[in-house]
Chain A
Amino acid sequence: MIVETQGLTRRFGERIAVADLTFSLDEGQVLGLLGPNGAGKTTTLRMLGGLIAATSGSATVCGHSLGKSDAANTAIRARCGNVPEVPGFYERLSARDNLRFFAGLHRLPDAHRRVDAALDRFALGERRDDRVSTYSKGMKQRLSIARALLHEPQLVLLDEPTAGLDPLATASVHSLIRELKAKGVSLVLCTHSLEEVEALADRVLILDQTVRFSGALAEFCERVEGVVIDMRIDALPDGMNLARQDLSRYVFDYAPEEVPQLIRRLVAAGADISSVTQRRTSLRQRYLDLLGER
């Protein structure tokens, strides 16, 4: 496991930012971290990245126990790549000088070659000597990701990496995330975009100070919650799980694999069936329902 937390909690004075956070993340997996504004997502990323300590609970990140010692936190920071919500560069310096600086902080050997390779990889090679202040938002975001990957981290923490980007830039970031995942890098993707989570994540964590949902994406995605049948029938056979009826529209509470048997029983009972559809709850509705349950 790259990340394993147990009851992780963070307070700021009397205010609870994150409470009782328990989840795990394996190598090469992407965790989609969702939640409303002020839910504790950024605080969670900062704890996982070894920037701030937890008030209680425990976590193991990249094989090191979080907060146990300065050496452990330093080791975590050496193995994590951080893409903050606001990239935060030295605007008067060029992209190349910015990356060289961070390469120096990581004590990377062969820094000049790494920096140039990173700039080329993120299509910033031609503008490498231009001041960052002249960069567009999308370019700064690409540079931020390049900075986070300079030291080849095991875990990358991304805080809303596509916020404010155009569709082309967003697609480019998504492509990069898939590429990293294929290489075995684990990622925690903090985002407001459910579509982004659906496209990229293996696991989902929904946070609103406490965990509202934690599990595989498949568990969270569109759920089939029954079958809707439009039919005419004189009397329903006994023992049918009828959720509700609205004139000739019947909603049954059956799992998808039970639907064929259901239809055979209805036909045998003389039903004149005009349509059969599965009732699904969308990702968005599921998300809203979870956050609405307080």
Chain B
Amino acid sequence: MREIGAILWREFLDQRQNRMLWPVYLLMPLVGAALPAILVAASAAALAQDGGSQLGAMLGGIRMMAGAAGIQLEEAAARMFLRVSAGYFLLLPLAVVSIAGAYAIVGEKQQRSLESVLATPIDTRVFLVGKLLAVLLPAVAISWISAILGAAVSVTSFWLSHRLLVWPDIFYWLGVLVLGPLIGAITALVCMRVSARMQDPQAANQMTALVLTPALMIVFSLVGPYIVLHLPALLAACGVAGLAAVMLFYWVKRGFDREEILCRWR
């Protein structure tokens, strides 16, 4: 545990010194804070449409929600769009992690610090957990801060415009607090595996950007409509993501060959 603490402390110190990360860490929460309010405000416009094909399923879901919960259509629409806005907070950890994760191992190789770290008694598993948390925790923190700010802004703005208090529901919080971090962990682990096999951080970054991000976007587009409308689907998605994260960790550990990394031999 103490080694993990040392890795986290060192990584955070390093990230604090890395000015290239500051725009990412500052800008994304601001966007996140505004997005739910914008979408919730757009919900009224969506209701006014005559059920266009793109919104057909969602409008159907809105009417179903209103009926089941015994609430006004405007309130149901606002809640639905809040759920949809949570998609941004699922992608936020992915975006932030893919920047830092690519540098996780290859960055240390590049600055020649990896040999000195591997020369200590630190266990491979502990080292990887420390690296994973160092990459994931800032992304999760940004995502949660954004989500809370976003929720506060949207609740306030909707109250001001409609005199209705519309709180984010369990879909929103499960997505933000559980599924988002798990997606971040999956992204981080894939990035770490790529990073351990590459010699160049830019190449590692490009690999994750070109392969991993589109793959996850495709998955989102397929399962998104279901997890937004059906709680069991969302819970199942959380379960699958959790299992995938655990399996990926052992895949990364198996692929972390100290000798190959140190000796640059394949």
Contacts and interface: CB of A to CB of B under 8 A. Distances in A.
B10 interface: yes
Interface string B1-32: 01101110110011001100000000000000
A51 B14 contact: no
A90 B6 contact: no
B126 to A, nearest CB: 9
A97 B7 CA distance: 12
A107 B120 CA distance: 10
A93 B119 CA distance: 20
A118 B193 CA distance: 36
- Chain B interface helix/strand/loop/mixed: helix
A208 B176 CA distance: 59
Contacts of B123: 70, 74
Interface residue tally on A, bucketed by range? 20 to 34
Contacts of A292: none
A157 B11 CA distance: 27
A73 B265 CA distance: 21
Interface string A78-96: 1010101011111111000
Contacts of B117: 105
B57 interface: no
Nearest to A98: B10
A102 B120 contact: yes
Given A53-B259, A105-B120, A105-B122, A86 B112 contact: yes
B119 A104 contact: no
A51 B111 contact: no
B77 to A, nearest CB: 48
A41 interface: no
Contacts of A43: 263
A279 interface: no
Given A88-B111, A88-B112, A91-B111, A12 B265 contact: yes
A32 to B, nearest CB: 21
Given A52-B263, A102-B120, A107-B2, 15 more contacts: A46-B262, A51-B118, A51-B119, A77-B121, A80-B119, A82-B116, A86-B112, A88-B113, A92-B17, A93-B13, A93-B14, A97-B13, A104-B9, A105-B121, A105-B122
Q: Which 9 A-B pairs have the closest CB atoms?
A: A104-B6, A88-B112, A82-B119, A92-B17, A105-B120, A78-B121, A88-B113, A101-B10, A52-B259
Interface of A: 12-13, 43, 46, 49, 51-53, 70, 74-75, 77-78, 80, 82, 84, 86-93, 97, 100-107, 147
